[in-house]
Structure 1
Amino acid sequence: MEGSWISNALPRYSPSSLSPDSRRRSKAPRWRTPSPMSASAIPPPIVNSIYVPSSSQSPAGPSVQTDDNLLLFRRKQRELEAHLQLLLDAQADALLSGLDDPSTSTAEDDGLSTGSSTPTASALDSRARPSSKPEKIGLRHARVGLYATIRRLAQLKAQESQYLAPNLDHFESVVAQLDAWQGKCHALQSRASEIRSGNDQKRALGLHKQADDMQTDIEDLETRLAKLKSDQRRLRAEAQEIENTVDARLTSYTTSLALVENSVQTFLRDGTSNHWTAIINVADMDRFWQSPSQTRTLKSAKEVFLRERDSLLEKRRINDTEREALEEGAVVWRDTVKQVSAFERTLAKAMSQMSKQPQSQLDSPAETKELLSMLEQTTRELESKHKLAETRSWKLLVAAIGAELEAFLKGKQILEAALASVDGDTSSDEHR
């Protein structure tokens, strides 16, 4: 379809009836260089990829493989983003070359209002079936395909977050166990140190010294020998009792500390267990487990697993944020298409009535003024949604709504030029 959709809707006002400047503007070639409004028609990737460094340069040892399911999610995401770009290009081409038959607006509106997350067969079959010549996608299919593909991308993000949940729970439990072990080690070590440097130990040493000093008094004071020996036995017995108590208490703590340290060493030496498989910080985890086992410590292990846990939390947060943005954007785009479709139906109805009216009524600019007023109202609503998309940084909707808005602005220029031409003809007839 050649020309704009407004010029097809109002065949009476052909370019020959316009001024030379207007004719030059109407003959401008189809743009491929984006205008300021449509410069965002090719948005950057919606979701940032996750960088997984290659392990080919790692030292010899057990290798950590990148999670195949994450690669599958990214590949599906790129396919959907590529399809979104294809639909955006098709939408832009269709808007420049002329809209689809307005009679199909009802079917298009129904396709968007069902809430289905699956694109129509006509919108996607051209991509699924190989063909020697690609089939051109119409404006209606481009709009429906944009909504359906956005929904599919949101569902993909939800599936990826669901897939990350078990891994996050697993690393949460490992970090909790490491925290418990570290806390026990610190508590036991602190208590053992307090016992070693406590008053009881010092008291026992003092009593031993006092008992030794009494031996000289025994030799000098024979008459006091019995009493002094009794005191000596009592003091030694008391000192021994204190030492036994200290040894018993210290043995309990040192045994517990040894058990905890044994568990820690078993964990650090077990480099083949599933608990060390990472899906995000692969190189970090690989570097830790490929280091010599004697250099691995409880502190370094906790740091590695904390980074993996925090990376999983951040990944899930980003996925949830992007999913919410895509779902909200899909609703805004659906409302936009409904408003555009409503104007197209009104335009088709008006043109049908104008084709049945006599020539004298067609010369009246009333119908054109009414269409121009409706177009301006729809344009203001599109501008509001476009500003909302820019405020929320929805680059995909900025491009899609921007293309629709630019088409309406061009249509407004054509209607205003046509109205001015009719008003000029009417004034000339009145003067004659």
Structure 2
Amino acid sequence: MVDADQTFVIVGGGLAGAKAAETFRSEGFTGRVILIGDERDHPYERPPLSKGYLLGKEERDSVFVHEPAWYAQADVELHLGQTVVSIDRVAKAVHLGDRAVIHYDKLLLATGAEPRRLDVPGTGLVGVHHLRRLAHADRLRQVLATLGRDNGHLVIAGAGWIGLEVAAAARTYGAEVTVVEPQATPLHAVLGPEIGQMFTDLHAEHGVRFHFGATLTEIAGQDGLVLAARTDDGEEHPAHDVLAAIGAAPRTALAESAGLELADRAQGGGIVVDTSLRTSDPDIFAAGDVAAVHHPFYDMRLRVEHWANALNGGPAAARAMLGHEVTYDRVPYFFSDQYDVGLEYSGWAPPGTYDQVVIRGDAGKREFIAFWLSEGRVLAGMNVNVWDVTDTIQKLISSGARPSADSLSDPSIPLESLLQ
């Protein structure tokens, strides 16, 4: 039974941590809630950093999870701009970089992920960027505006979601864009080649140049500034700025040093948690990008880096910490906006897990739903410029339904009827 004498500590000032703090209070917890974040900004949501805020369509204040005054009103103690350097599991305490020690009864690790770095000469030049934090978006927004004004060139390493969304934003500003990607299509690791080609065509129509089958080997510069990006096949692309968008790695160093069980790095890494998001220490939980939870439908441990996982995982962990029965088995979900294309993806079906892709609608007009199947079972679905179907797609996945490919591809057959 949780009582008012207990202290719950959250390490990580992102969406998962902020929503966990909110849930503690909404569920009636009256003890201390302490949220520690290593950024000076209040907790914020990350999707706008590569979408509306980066495009200049949204104000900076719109990204924050709560109004700054909410934390004091909810009696949530904030320690912003502070780094937790270690966890003492015996003493049940976290040690901060300023040597402060905070004791906990239960601890939530919502430390998120960090961008993977390019391991090539030239990464220390001024014009080399990453996009993960609000400060990164602040800087990149100014860079894109300048490149657009001066007809400058941006080279993006990686054709994943961040790379493509920034490419779309850069072209909207008017910058020249080249994307370097080792695979044959964008988003290969998520969507496979069948749907990846659509993104090649979409961006090419907007003037983006792709260099597939290559990786960056050097960023050339002079006087600290970027001049060009070179690839392993001998090509050289003019560049004023370079964005490294080659994925993110879970921030597990704190958990590792504390002796918590970690997932295999070859399978995405992260902190191992059970279905209630509890780690190998019964008083420590993990949520958001850093948590690797066994998903019953896919029968494997998944680490999901997207917004919805933080939005829902933080509250789920909070309820588990309060002693509620929790089974976290939500179908993975994310969304993206690029030019006039909006999409939602539900499920998990990387290449090698599916044997068929079925299209419902008009892929040429980019108004369709794609389904990834394995032996007739729906593993994932993505609706492109088709709306109000996500709940049904997720039910098709979680129910284990095996509708025929013909019925899936026929728009005259209601999706809901395929659940029967």
The structure that is helix-richer by fraction is: 1
TM-score, length basis structure 1: 0.20
State which structure, 1 or 2, has the greater radius of gyration over its C-alpha atoms.
1
Structure with greater proportional strand content: 2
TM-score scaled by length of structure 2: 0.20
